[in-house]
Chain A
Amino acid sequence: MTRQFNAGEHGVAVHIEHCAKTFADGTQALGPVTLEVARGETVVLLGPSGCGKTTLLRIIAGLETPDAGGRVLFNKSEVTRVPIERRNVGMVFQSYALFPNMNVADNIAYGLKIRGVNAAERSARIAELVALTGIEGLERRRVDQLSGGQRQRVALARAVAVRPSVLLLDEPLTALDAALRERLRGELNRLLRTLGITTIYVTHDQSEAMALGDRIVVMRKGAIAQSGTPREIYFAPANRFVAEFVGAANILDAAYSNGSLLVPGGKLLAPDAYENPKDRVLVMIRPESIRIVAVDGAGLCGRVESLNFVGDRQRVAIAEVAAKPIMVDAPNSIPLEVGERVGLVIDPSAVRLLPGDPP
């Protein structure tokens, strides 16, 4: 029985319902997770190692079966028990899984060969894909004659060659060095936009997630911590974990009083949207939304504890503001010295209240 999920040009919508995974040794890798991925959408599963993101991807791929009660649907038809070879997915593995016994062209064409596509059509598709992924001239190379970046492109070309219903990428850039990773991230982004196919991308790297995702699903301990656009995740994290995992964050334990938040270093204005205040709250402030000003007349003051010049800006640790030093990203032109007392200005809209009680 061969089932074809008519992919159309942009793939299928993917629905994951109550998918949990408990392994044979009893460890639960994934709690019951429900997730919808729209047709043509790029969703990034982001989280630290062991958060269940790869397990979820493997369930979507058909490499793992969810525990009883879980369902996976492609365009409303259930595929939970359909093995990977009949799901028409395209998959890029962290180690690429290129076949060492085949050259680049044969690797790319393998899925087409399996589908019985004739030789003429195959070579046309190979030509199209090597051009798309920028690996012209490497067709006859053996896999072990390729650099890491070239392997990554071949793996991608091989996965999309079959016009998959959904493209699944498992940490595809992790094995590369930093500079190459950044360049390929840009290329990958362009390619995914060009293809416009439903894509699910797993990574632990938040900058990759920001750059590539239409939507980011932050995962923690087998559950979804937050799902939203990169901007939502960054500016309005749902909880402390997301705030700290995505970008740098200052978490302050503050006392609320009459529209102001009081911390050891002074006071700052609470955001307007803040209603029904409790006495003590947790707030999050991104380092780049704090401005350093003269100490005179500032409502919030601290002492420069350390300076870290990173080129385009300087990251300043300021003590005596809260229980722990807070991080401030200041322009690289401001002269600052360790030990100096400074004033701080924070726009109320940049102060994000986090749920939960302070410790």
Chain B
Amino acid sequence: MTMRDRLIFALQLLFTILVAAFLIVPAVLSMLAGITVNYFRGIQSGLTLQWVVQVWQLYSDTIFRSFLIALATLGVTLVVGIPAAYALHLRSDRFSRAIEEIITLPLAIPGLALALALLLTYGGFSDFRRSWLFILAGHAIFTLPFMVRSVMAVFGAIDVKTLDEGAASLGATPWRRFRDVIVPNAMPGILAGSLMVVTLSLGEFNLTWMLHTPLTKTLPVGLADSYASMRLEVASAYTLVFFLMIIPLLVAMQMFARQRAGAASL
């Protein structure tokens, strides 16, 4: 082995060890803790599902609410984000760049600040404030830039303007062009954006923690709640449940996206 090869090997080994130490080991330990009878006595205290059952009994509503909010957020970002990306791409002038910046702003502003602003403005509408729609509003604002950006990235790559003109020359109205040509060709970006929006919405804590009420907790808020007020084993069991719910969903979405992307490039 040359000096260079040895250096590369050492760096790769270091990287692997770091990933294991900070990503895989903590996750596994946390999930193990969730099925351990007594965490402080360790695994020899025995394994149990009682904590998982307890989590399900106490917090199953947060799980369903989280999925509801994630899907609703996806719906909002699709309906708002795709036409917005289309419009922003077509008129790439100073005005549209300013709009793009404003849409992107929630990425840079702390979620707490966003939530505070929402509370200040709409906290007085108590029916709205008390419903899950209030959280939906926060999630939509937070995730919209991800949808807009990933759709715009595809528009930048496929010369959508000429495709649009081509469809127009054949007699298609703006709406037909959007439906028949723009959306189908933006599909890879739409799928990537959707994946990101659902993932972000399910895991969002900052904003949600400020916006929730005791009756509108989501998965991550429930996790914080259980960690603050329950045994460590219960919080860990919660993490386990979280993983079990999220991972199959993400894998399914990835597969769907890959299938579509594969079909699109055939």
Contacts and interface: CB of A to CB of B under 8 A. Distances in A.
Interface of A: 24, 61, 63, 83-86, 88-91, 93, 95-101, 110-111, 114-115, 142, 144, 158-159, 162, 168
Contact of A99 (B93, B163, B173, B266): B163
Contacts of A99: 163, 166-167, 180-181, 184-185
A169 to B, nearest CB: 11
A95 B159 contact: yes
A101 B166 contact: no
Nearest to A95: B162
Contacts of B170: 85, 110-111, 114, 158, 162
Nearest to A97: B166
Contacts of A100: 158, 185, 264
B210 interface: no
Given A100-B158, A101-B185, A159 B266 contact: no
Nearest to B174: A85
A86 to B, nearest CB: 8
A335 B210 CA distance: 93
A115 B166 contact: no
A83 B168 contact: yes
B192 interface: no
A114 B163 contact: no
Interface in B236-259: none
29 contacts: A24-B93, A61-B169, A63-B168, A84-B165, A85-B171, A91-B169, A95-B162, A96-B166, A99-B163, A99-B166, A99-B167, A99-B180, A99-B181, A100-B158, A100-B185, A101-B185, A101-B187, A101-B264, A110-B167, A110-B170, A110-B172, A110-B180, A111-B171, A114-B172, A115-B171, A142-B266, A159-B169, A162-B170, A162-B171
A65 to B, nearest CB: 14
Select the residue from A24, A95, A96, A101 with max chain B CB neighbours within 10 A: A101
Contacts of B231: none
Interface in B58-77: none
Contacts of B172: 85, 110, 114
B184 A98 contact: no
Contacts of B168: 63, 83-85
Contacts of A91: 165-166, 169
Ranked 9 nearest A-B pairs via Cβ: A97-B166, A111-B170, A101-B184, A91-B169, A114-B171, A97-B162, A84-B168, A85-B168, A85-B171
Contacts of B93: 24
A61 B264 CA distance: 31
A144 B158 CA distance: 12
B97 interface: no
A93 B171 contact: no
A144 to B, nearest CB: 8
Interface in B170-222: 170-173, 176, 180-181, 184-185, 187
Nearest to B161: A97
Contacts of B176: 114
B220 to A, nearest CB: 38
Contact of B181 (A24, A63, A101): A101
B262 to A, nearest CB: 13
A93 B162 contact: yes
The residue among B158, B171, B185, B265 with the most chain A CB atoms within 10 A of its own CB is B171
Given A97-B165, A100-B185, A101-B184, A88 B171 contact: yes
Contacts of A85: 168-173
A114 B181 CA distance: 12
Given A63-B168, A88-B171, A97-B162, 5 more contacts: A83-B168, A85-B173, A98-B166, A101-B187, A142-B266
Nearest to B166: A97
Contacts of A84: 165, 168-169
